[in-house]
Structure 1
Amino acid sequence: MTTQTNQQPLSMAQILLCGGAIVTLSMGIRHGFGLWLQPITQEMGWTRENFSLAIAVQNISWGILGIFVGMLADRMGAFKVLIGGSMLYALGLVGMALSPSTLAFTLTAGVLIGAAQAATTYTVIFGVLGRQIPATRRSWAMGVTAAAGSFGQFFMVPVEGALISAFNWSNALLILAAFALLIAALAFGLREPGFSSGKPPVREQTVGQALKEAWSHPSFVLLTAGYFVCGFQVMFIGVHMPSYLKDFGIAPHVASYSLALVGLFNIFGTYLAGNLGQKMPKRYLLSGIYALRSVVTVLFLLAPLSPWSVYAFSAAMGFLWLSTVPLTNATVAQIFGVQHLSMLSGFVFCSHQVGSFMGVWLGGYLYDLNGNYNMVWYLSIALGIFAALVNLPVRETAVARGTRPQGV
């Protein structure tokens, strides 16, 4: 039995309230970065690829550093990690506003904010949920927290658009830096009693044993491959959708509303996914989500482009947006347990962020090369079909320690 299970756990209401608020702020700020693409590139004289590369670096930084942040959170608890992440987030936003060159912009908007997001989002928060909430409610709780991230997008994207309009893009980023510091205050609600002594809890496995077990398990590899596609799709749409619409003469407010609709409908999608994950095989739910994303994208490209077709696409895609998050993380916890959940989730999420890097960067690169986003849309459709197929063979049975998992 680990150290933290010998002490009174945090209340579920406290975990969900503080964890949800942190994810709301962190994900909400992040989802609005696409609104800065045109103001920054036009004023600074940069290309879309310059901006896209910085956001792509942000995603890959988030993914790679998330592995090590997960290790720290498993060892030290979430509290200290969240405090540091809040400070990094504020510093990165200030640096993003004041960057005089593309290199400085990439280091601040990319590396610093990526590190901050690793320390203030799902990898860390889901670790708390896994340790403090019983398995019978875990998928549901992860769905609620992911829904909070969706509410952040619904609430924060219009706010960020209004800030840009009222104060210009650089001052808007400075205001967001103050929002990011609120994460540090909320972190006090996630001080886990098992880590209060400053000593890491006793574990059945070392880090090396946990990694060897996970990477030798076919289902972990399949979940990791599928999560790559999730990152590719959501970041391509989140960053490039406003510019895609403007290229076709769609009014700028439509882009803001469309991203807000994604966040609104994802509140329901992630909650429903987490709830269904307690009752149905998660692999079937994941496969269906990825397949539906491809169907929705095909229908959007075939329909005449108008504000209403954009809103319909955003609502449908929003319902599927982050619904993979609670299902994927709950499956990892179900198979491998929660002792190293933040670290293992960090590895799976790293794949998600490699996909995000490719979606953001290829969006800008192929646009500059071809003058349109067509190739990226087609690639997104094909990848959705791929992810639907690789999730089907996942086995959700908990591993038996000391035995090798059977192949899929």
Structure 2
Amino acid sequence: MIDPADLWTGELNREALGESWRKPSTPIGLYDTTLRDGEQAVGVALGTDDKVAIARGLDALGVDRIEAGFPRVSPEDAEAMRQIVAAGLTAEIWGFARALRVDVDAVLEVGVRATVIESPVSDRKLSAYGMSRDVLCQRVVEAISYAVASGLKVCFFAVDSTRADSGFLEEVIHKAVDAGASEIAIVDTIGVASPEAAALIVGRARSWLGPELPIHWHGHNDFGLATAAAIASVRAGATWVQGTVNGMGERAGNASLGEVAMALEALYGISTNLRLERLGEVSALVQARSGYVLDRWKPLTGEALFARESGAVASQFHDPPAIEPYAPEIVGARRRVVLGKKSGLDSIRIKLAELGLEVSQQQWPGLLAEVKVLGARKRGLVSDEEFRAMVALGPD
């Protein structure tokens, strides 16, 4: 858990939860699908070596489960799954299959012992596939029964749950459980669920299934609410959250597991097994291997998140709780001052100390003026090398 001394979030969140709030007694499980759903991001194509390296990173990060891939996609994907299974990781390795016997066979062939089995459950999706409700139910029951009889643990993955008819969704879920599925995933396939809607549908599923059966939440970020919806699902009874590193995924992406874990722990006191201090290195690994580049201001792992250009903020640099919600070390980052158009004298002072440069205080205003001019001209930051050159030449 996070050291409370490194959290500077105030008391409002605790007050908002109220005295009756009871957090889950066990850690929320984190199910990573970077290697399957994350790879569906446009332009991302991970090779076998990439997938194995990322799987090792995910294991070091502390995710509970790794969805190693969809073996029917290609022989290369199947080989990557075999190598991940053979890697001896601590995380449980899962596969992905549609409600088809050939998909289940492919999962069995690569050696995983647990799999998601997906099927559409909304009328809109069924219409697109030209499939009736009866045919869907038959396929789900046959595929799950076959998988369980073959020794696989199964999570039924109800595609487009959030746009499905509630009565039919309940029917399909019960059929899946009766066929042997030991877990259920409520899936917001196109990211339409508000946090309130996520809580509603997960609460319904919990009422249908009772208190013990594991329920997953799988959401997307089309309205920028993936993290909020995941949190709401946990408060409503979800025991697992599915997501990816950096939120990488199709369209606007998936829930970012790092963001979900940080919000759960820092704002709600709900524990996970994620090693938050390794988020930065695993984020960088996935970016390097996938070519999927983050916004600089991405929560938790953006490169500019703990950089300070504003002179007004730099003047408070000595008192981190005044300018930040948590210590950057929690997520494996560090605090730094950068120079540019918005810098102030405190920015100059801090940067000089950081670089080990000795300059009389009388010269600081001149250096600041040069920094502001260059930053404005570049429409960007002044690099450390450029600042060193200014110091070497002396202010104009």
Q: TM-score range by the shorter chain?
A: under 0.3
Larger % of strand: which?
2
For CA contacts below 8 A with separation 6 or more, give which structure has more relative contact order: 1
Q: Structure 2 length as normaliser, TM-score?
A: 0.21
TM-score scaled by structure 1?
0.21
Q: Which structure has the larger Rg?
A: 2
